[in-house]
Structure 1
Amino acid sequence: MRQLEYADAVVLTRPDETVAALVQAINPQALVRTTVDGLTGVQLHDPDAAETRVEPGTITAPVWEESGGVRTLVWQSTRPFHPERLYDALEDLVAGTARGKGTVWLATQSHARLGWDSFGTNISIGVLGRWLADLPVDRWSEVSQSHRARSALEWHPDHGDRSSYLSLTGAGLDVWELARRLDGCVLRADEEVSALTDPFAPYLEGSTAA
């Protein structure tokens, strides 16, 4: 699946509208064909752009899109995730998705900018780095350009660039139900961070953002 995001062109072995739509949703920049005709010029591969595309924190999909039965949900929250509710919901959240990626703000990991990287039901949540709000300006170059650009538009006076920003794609995906489940994993205003248990902590030990 990661090779699809890295590719400039994808040639399908047979025509399939759903597969073509899924490939295009996962990599909007790629040329998708059922033959090699019309692929002149794709040898001009840009490895830097490709590396950026495959980063978990890079999202290029529109806010909501459907094509060929394939749907993409782009979801955002300016409140952090409740660690236990998110952990318990992970299996349901990735069910029916082919690809998921984005940035995660976890209430109990406030200094770590976490990345969501899922392929089908396989999901990894790890440390991408630190939030811009925690870094001196001369270290902002350590954060991806796409995140810096989005942060400049959405900077919050209280928590800076901290937010969760996810893109989830799948054939026949119920985007409304998925959005509802994600909303239910967000920390409520009456919940105290100090009282929370973090089931992600054992997996993130040793990878804390510097």
Structure 2
Amino acid sequence: MVLTRVVGMDRSTEARDTARPPAPALRVALVSGLDSTERSRVSRMIAGVPAEDAPTSDITDETEDSAEFALVLAEHVLAAAHAGATGRTVIELDAEADVMEVGFVLETELEGRRNEGPPAELHDLVTVARVRDVHRWLLSAAPAPAVDFVTAESLASQLEFATVVVLADAADVSPGQLRSTVGLVQRLNPDAAVVTSVATARQPTGWPGGRGCARRLGRRMGWTRALAEPDLPAASWNGVDVLVFRDPRPFHPDRLFDSVRHRLVPDQVGRIARSRGLVQLATRPDHHGSWRSAGDTVSLDPTGIASWDPDAPIGQEMVFFGEHLDRDEIIAALHACLLTDDELLAGPTSWRRYGDPFPAWPLHHDH
């Protein structure tokens, strides 16, 4: 079940924007974050009303599918717009919601129905994060709880997919912690505004956002820019490094799995806070996998990208972000996972017999 709280839907905020051209009837700000107290505090500030005065309503749906829930959410937003709601409305997402999927689907649905009546648009994607959480789950070399495979990935995704990142406890942490957190956010999401004073959320004009913000973010996340723009500076940025790895050869899955466990770890290569990319396993040569790591968690999920697709990468394209990364050791560890010349010459029939400890992907059928 996904729970969403709508804050300030009944309040007009047009007075803030008198200097701008005529705006859509309803501008939506999606607010995500792990900490419900901080998330709610910032949501009410953005809505421009005191906590005790903010009109709120809860939207629940009996589904754990974020895309389906986004469609339900779109119906509520459009119904409010057609009923005369104006200005900015703030929608606070539950911590378990996939903000990227909700954002893309909600934006697409609102755009596709602009001609039905007073329009609404997704205008802002706001992530509320605590510096302490960023360090605990992504930057600290200390192991994360072994039973939690969700929190680190949720936090990293929220930081990547935001027009604005509000660091709620910035005033309560050390300058070093704040600097490395800001550096990581800037690496993961170069276009985001990083807000270190919660009080500024009371006047959110001038934040990067606007119509089409979800699509723009999807094209310009830090890892996609690192792959597309090889001239981006690789030097440490507020203490956070970036490393791009490319190679046309497939990975041997057993060796890659072993490397993740024993070589790509903090005491060997530095703290890899986040990595993203597209990878190809020798045992699954027909399709690329979506690689992502966040802190101590790693996932390799199927994509719809076939190896023969004209836009598919050849082999591996991976980007690593972290503190004090040992570039040579990371590259050496990954190179050791690639097929050797003899293995490559053996061909796909031989490759399919390799051990593959990664979770199986659903069978893909092309029609």
The TM tier, using the shorter chain, reads 0.7 to 0.9
Corresponding position: 1:162 with 2:314: yes
Structure 1 partner of 2:339: 187
Structure 2 partner of 1:59: 224
Identity over aligned pairs, percent: 29
Contact 1:81 1:187 in 2 (8 A): yes
Q: Deviations over 1:121-155 (max 9, x none)?
A: 1010011123351x5xxxx7xxxxxxx3xx6xxxx
Question: Which has the larger share of helix?
Answer: 2
Corresponding position: 1:3 with 2:158: yes
Contact 1:17 1:68 in 2 (8 A): yes
Q: Deviations over 1:55-104 (max 9, x none)?
A: 9xx62224734112211111100111111111111123254211110000
CA distance, structure 1, for counterparts of residue 257 and residue 283 of structure 2: 12
Residue of structure 2 aligned with 1:128, choices 303, 313, 333:
303
Residue of structure 2 aligned with 1:34, choices 196, 199, 216:
196
Q: Secondary structure at the match of 1:84?
A: helix
CA distance, structure 2, for counterparts of residue 44 and residue 116 of structure 1: 30
Contact 2:275 2:318 in 1 (8 A): yes
Structure 2 partner of 1:70: 240
Structure 1 gaps, min length 5: 141-147, 152-160
CA distance change for structure 1 residues 42 and 31 in 2, over 3 Å: closer, same or farther? same
TM-score (ref. length: structure 1): 0.76
Q: Secondary structure at the match of 1:73?
A: strand
CA distance change for structure 1 residues 84 and 39 in 2, over 3 Å: closer, same or farther? farther
Q: Secondary structure at the match of 1:179?
A: helix
Q: Secondary structure at the match of 1:11?
A: strand
Q: Deviations over 1:20-58 (max 9, x none)?
A: 101111111212232338861334261223345679xx6
- Which consecutive aligned stretches of 4+ in structure 1 deviate over 4 angstroms post-superposition? 51-55
CA distance change for structure 1 residues 67 and 54 in 2, over 3 Å: closer, same or farther? closer
Corresponding position: 1:48 with 2:206: no
CA distance change for structure 1 residues 21 and 205 in 2, over 3 Å: closer, same or farther? closer
Structure 2 partner of 1:156: none
Contact 2:278 2:288 in 1 (8 A): yes
CA distance change for structure 1 residues 22 and 89 in 2, over 3 Å: closer, same or farther? same
Contact 2:291 2:301 in 1 (8 A): yes
Structure 2 gaps, min length 5: 1-155, 227-231
Structure with the bigger RCO (C-alpha within 8 Å, sep 6+) is 1
CA distance, structure 2, for counterparts of residue 208 and residue 18 of structure 1: 41
CA distance, structure 1, for counterparts of residue 219 and residue 279 of structure 2: 18
For the pair shown, which has the larger CA radius of gyration, 1 or 2?
A: 2
CA distance change for structure 1 residues 11 and 167 in 2, over 3 Å: closer, same or farther? same
Q: How many residue pairs were aligned?
A: 184
CA distance, structure 2, for counterparts of residue 178 and residue 101 of structure 1: 14
Report the RMSD for the aligned CA atoms in angstroms. 2.7
Contact 2:288 2:307 in 1 (8 A): no
